[in-house]
Homo-oligomer: A and B are copies of this chain.
Amino acid sequence: MPEPVPRADAAEARRVAVDLGERSYDVVIGHGLLDRPAAWESPPVGASALIVTNSTVAPLYLNRVLPVLRERHRRVHSVELPDGEQHKDWPTLNRVFDALLQARCDRGTTVYALGGGVVGDMAGFAAACFMRGVPYVQLPTTLLAQVDSSVGGKTAINHPMGKNMIGAFHQPRVVVCDLDTLSTLPDRELRAGLAEVIKYGPIADWAFFEWIEQHADELLAREPGALQHAVTRSCEIKADVVARDEREDDLRAALNFGHTFGHAIEAGLGFGVWLHGEAVAAGMVLAAELSNRLGMIDEQTGARLAALLERCGLPTRPPALAADRFLELMRLDKKARDGDILFTLLNGPGRAVVRSACDDLVREVVERTPQRA
């Protein structure tokens, strides 16, 4: 039986706890939260704060967040980064360090990440490194950041040779998902975020996958109740996985379904050409095909996944990238060990496993999947 769409209640925020001992925190999900910091409860206090945002998000939300944070911190500074994955690099990160030092920030300063996944990754990594660690808060404004990247404490920048190669585990103090911010999201970004929402079904909760199949139109139409349920369920699954394996020794690799191929697509095309969620969508189709070739899922499971991604306007075919280039890039994947690529695959619908696969089979999967024109 499909779960019904819960009613969106503007007054009532949902809370998902990320249980990590003394590093525990809540993900707060609701409407109008950016203006209601009382709903966040107990974010860090301190004399100073730095908001890290980008040139797209700043005109929309910075002036709403500034006065709210000024009630909490005596000095609130901000720094605006250029928008896009191609800027998730050291020179851009260094602008955050420059801003922190120019504003005479100290170990008591809180960093706020106001934006999508790139802003969250960079603000979080800067907070991890500045004076060897200061607190930070995630204020994600994209679907992808709300359902995935803002939760779990992974922060990083890219290296020209690979995605997220330089980073830290650094948990935020609170994650505040204001669903209202999704109303300003370009369609392409909304769809990219849906790729990560869809991901949670095959790896952990097939009933959730079926719920998405039934409510994809409402999600694409940004129906508030559907979005609230999708964000909440995604955060619940992520929080559960992260609580059991914070530093990806084992279980957490499940969240990487589609990402081994996906990161290779991003690095191979140049960061920012495909959005992260788009690369993950095509990557999931390849990973499902590989799972099928290894006899772990039937063809129908992969076909349903591809059909849902397609319905959400996401790419289900890889870009024009040679199989050997895929292999070369994937050998640098963070899961790889001693030259063996490890893939997060499906072992039945709703169950992820980490496995290696021989190069020939991977090459065949890449070559037999028609490339995107």
What is the interface of chain A, defined by CB distance below 8 A to chain B? 47-48, 90, 94, 97-98, 101-102, 104, 106-108, 128-133, 154, 156, 159, 161-162, 165-169, 247, 331-332, 334-339
Contacts and interface: CB of A to CB of B under 8 A. Distances in A.
Contacts of A169: 132-133
A182 to B, nearest CB: 29
B165 A97 contact: yes
A334 B106 contact: yes
B166 A129 contact: yes
Contacts of A335: 107
A66 to B, nearest CB: 20
Contacts of A133: 168-169, 247
Contacts of A129: 129, 166-168
Contact of A165 (B108, B130, B166, B247): B130
B161 A101 contact: yes
Number of copies: 2
B94 A130 contact: no
15 contacts: A90-B94, A97-B159, A97-B165, A104-B331, A104-B332, A106-B334, A106-B336, A108-B338, A129-B167, A131-B334, A132-B156, A132-B168, A132-B169, A132-B247, A132-B334
A108 B156 contact: no
In the A-B complex, list the 5 residue pairs whose CB atoms are closest, starting with the nearest. A47-B338, A101-B161, A131-B334, A132-B167, A129-B166
A262 B85 CA distance: 39
A161 B337 CA distance: 39
B101 A159 contact: yes
Contacts of A168: 128-129, 132-133, 168
Contacts of A334: 106-107, 131-132
A154 B132 contact: yes
Nearest to A328: B104
A193 B132 CA distance: 24
Contacts of A154: 132
Q: Which of A130, A162, A166, A334 gathers the greatest number of chain B CB atoms within 10 Å?
A: A166
Q: Which of A132, A247, A336 gathers the greatest number of chain B CB atoms within 10 Å?
A: A132
A48 B128 CA distance: 27
Given A106-B334, A132-B154, A132-B168, 10 more contacts: A47-B337, A48-B338, A97-B165, A101-B162, A101-B332, A104-B332, A104-B339, A129-B166, A130-B166, A168-B168
A364 to B, nearest CB: 23
A337 B45 CA distance: 13
A107 B156 contact: no
A335 B98 CA distance: 18
A111 B320 CA distance: 36
